[in-house]
A and B are shown apart, each in its own frame.
Chain A
Amino acid sequence: MDKKRILLIDDDPDQRLALRLPLESAGFEVQEAINSSDALARINEIDPDLIILDVMMDTTTAGFQVALELHSPDPASEFKQFRNTPIIMLTAIHSTTPLRFAPDADYLPVETFIEKPVDPETLLKKVHELLNGQ
């Protein structure tokens, strides 16, 4: 069985490192994107099985924009092949602000949230859950 590929979208290189190490040692292939546009430009080429996305990048809601693009129900969407690719969103515990920008409390365009600072065990558990459930 091929290694599962994870796309890590975060503008903080240290945060990417902190996430990449446990994921790699758990046997995943990790690709990194340094911001929203970088991610969207290269996602077709990377073709990830799971996406880990930081909410706050260039703007406080950049992560949401990316998630909305990828999970768009529009059949003509450029990214329609990722409509069902699970997304884990990284949030800060005390920043409820970005959540308020969610289009609808019942419809968040992501599968799950992980709070920062990231606990590697929790991260791996969620990743496994999402990939095995697919």
Chain B
Amino acid sequence: MELHSPPGNRSAPPETAFDGQERSLVEAELVSSVAWLIRLRWIAGAGVILATWLARTFFPLTFPAAPLYSIGAVILAYNLVFFLVERGLTKSMAPTRRYTRLAKWQVGLDWLAMALLIHFSGGIESPLLLFFIFHIIIASIFFTPSIAFAYALLAILLVSGITLLEYFGAVPHVTIEGFLRQPLYSNTLYTGTALAAFASTGLISAYLATTIHERLRKREEDVVRLSRRLQRATSRLQALNEGARTVGSTLELAQVLNRLVKSTAEAMGVRACSIRLLDKTGRRLEPVAVYGLSQAYLEKGPVDAVVNPLAREVLSGKVVNIPDISSSHLLQYPQDARQEGIRSMISAPLIGKDGPLGILRAYAVEPNRFNSEDEEFLRAIAAQGSIAIENAMAYQAVAELDAAKSNFIRIVTHELRSPVSVTQSLLRTLTAGYAGAITAPQKDILQRATRRVEFLQKLIDDLLDLAAGKTDIKAFEEMESVSLMICFERVVKRFELTAQEKSLTLEMKSDCPQRYPVVMATTEGIDRILDNLISNAIKYTPAGGKVVVSIVCVDDEVQISVEDTGIGIPEESLSHIFEEFYRAPNAREIEHEGTGLGLTIVKDLVTRFGGRVAVESKPAAGSRFTVTLPLAVVDESERRLT
């Protein structure tokens, strides 16, 4: 028996939000109608019994009451069975088709009961004839129009059958005495007219009821479909928003790609998603991120952007929906896709500012999974993803460029260092007179040359440090717990003599709850930071001034500051002070030679140790550099060792 199927089951893809566990609205209606019909039947059965008794008791009617009482009792009896079955079905959350079967039984038995009732209440003369109309209306609520009409026809056949059988005397006619002056069942004209009237009323009722009901049902389906679409749209918007947030929260290309495939698959509720990007040749599409696909499928073979028909189409800017992979001529590897359990896929182009970047693709295990809504959705995600991918690529390119630059500097300075170093050795040997006595003017020239070469050496060393910091990541992987106090004492001691010679006060202060604050860094790095800051402070502070080096612990951070009463840094120079090779004009006046790399190195190291550096200064009053580093978590046993 064909019943109204729930909306969406016919052609629309299965809804993930409404799985088999949940009943559709139409199904729910059938289930509740079955119960409603059972409730009505109690009244009907009781009604038959009551009406028979009333008719016999209060009206001057004579008719065999026993069959009518029996029919009423039978109706009540089978309704009790239906009632129990229905309760059982409800309790066990039975599938809808069992309710359908129950409805079928109900209508069948009711039809039989109606036929008997009509026969025993006078056949074509029965006043109950019209009750069949209700049944026809009820049937049209339950079943599709064709079934409802079939039931209407069955009712007409049943009534006609009874009428004809009685008319020809095959079945004895039951006469209700006192109802009609003379029996009409054998009156051909009456019988014909009454049958025709009943038949047309039945058919018209069926037609009206099914039409109205069908219309209501359609509207209901529309509402259901719309509400589902809305729900899907909402969840997609949420997913899109979520995706954009997670994708945008990083500039690491691999992370951007991985988040994009994952959030796309989740938002569309499909098995898998992948991204292929064009390689540098612009020809091959390499899988760069994947979610829900096997390694074997990824390695199925090269995807050539020029040869592969699907890739060509997508890269030209189209969203391509392949409803069934077995009937598409666009696929290069349909066999592999089938083996992977994929039945349909949809691909959208990832397009950057300067042209296509690659392809975003979603895969489903069912055929016909994607509709035009999905096409628009994937296009939107791909557009959003393209921006994130391009940003990450640009970021990566900048980082690579920076590393390449640093590497270049490293190579060049390595090559420079050896000759400069040898030149210095030679000059020293010469100046010291080991190559023969030298005159005073010669010595002066040699000393000048030595000074210049020494500066060159310093510049090379600084550059090398800076480049090493950016290229030699390995050195920073070897970070360890460094005790700041030990570094401080060592570096400050180194400068004591210089400070004394310049009549400067060099002071050291510490305000930390723990005796030995520890940071994650490298000892050389911390030494270098302190060395550069303190040497600057001493260099740019006039005689009689003061340099204060202090350590202050604030929460889980430590602030190292180097403060002086020196020449200060002009306002306009402050923002450039950490730039490579930058030197403030007043610093140049005091110290002709300077690489302008010291503070850049400080900043680079501090950043690498997870900290930050700040400067404040007042010209002619002094400067203060503050380095903030996260304190390392050190357990007590380790702390005792330090």
Contact = CB atoms under 8 A, between A and B. Distances in A.
Interface of A: 12, 14-15, 17-19, 21-22, 25, 92-94, 96, 116-121
A18 B429 contact: yes
B417 A18 contact: no
Interface residues on B, range: 10 to 19
Contacts of B424: 116-117
Contacts of A17: 426, 429
Contacts of B417: 92, 94
B93 interface: no
A25 B428 contact: no
A15 B429 contact: no
Contacts of B464: 94
Given A93-B461, A94-B465, A118-B428, A21 B422 contact: no
Given A93-B461, A94-B461, A94-B465, A22 B429 contact: yes
From A94, A96, A120, residue with most partner B Cβ within 10 Å: A94
A93 B421 CA distance: 10
Contact of B425 (A15, A93, A94): A15
Interface in B420-436: 420-426, 428-429, 432, 434-435
Given A14-B426, A17-B426, A94-B461, A117 B432 contact: no
Contacts of B328: none
- Top 7 closest pairs, chain A to chain B, by CB: A117-B424, A18-B425, A21-B434, A22-B434, A118-B425, A18-B426, A116-B421
Given A18-B428, A21-B429, A119-B428, A92 B434 contact: no
B559 interface: no
Contacts of A116: 421-422, 424-425
Nearest to A117: B424
A99 to B, nearest CB: 12
B422 A120 contact: no
Contact of A117 (B422, B435, B524): B422
A21 B435 CA distance: 6
19 contacts: A12-B418, A14-B426, A15-B422, A18-B425, A19-B429, A21-B429, A21-B435, A22-B429, A22-B434, A25-B434, A92-B417, A92-B418, A116-B421, A116-B422, A117-B424, A117-B425, A118-B425, A118-B428, A119-B428
Contacts of A118: 425, 428
B601 to A, nearest CB: 12
A120 B435 contact: no
B457 interface: yes
Interface string B446-473: 0000000000010001001100000000
A12 B424 CA distance: 14
Interface of B: 417-418, 420-426, 428-429, 432, 434-435, 457, 461, 464-465, 524
B432 A121 contact: yes
Contacts of A25: 434
B472 to A, nearest CB: 9
Contact of B432 (A22, A93, A94): A22
A14 B434 contact: no
A92 B421 contact: yes
B422 A14 contact: yes
B85 to A, nearest CB: 85
A24 to B, nearest CB: 8
B428 A120 contact: yes
A19 B424 CA distance: 12
A22 B424 CA distance: 14
A25 B435 CA distance: 9
A18 B420 CA distance: 13
Nearest to B475: A96
A119 to B, nearest CB: 6
Contacts of A22: 429, 432, 434
A110 B461 CA distance: 25
Contacts of B457: 117
Contact of B422 (A18, A93, A119, A121): A18
A19 B434 CA distance: 10
Nearest to A121: B432
A118 B423 CA distance: 10
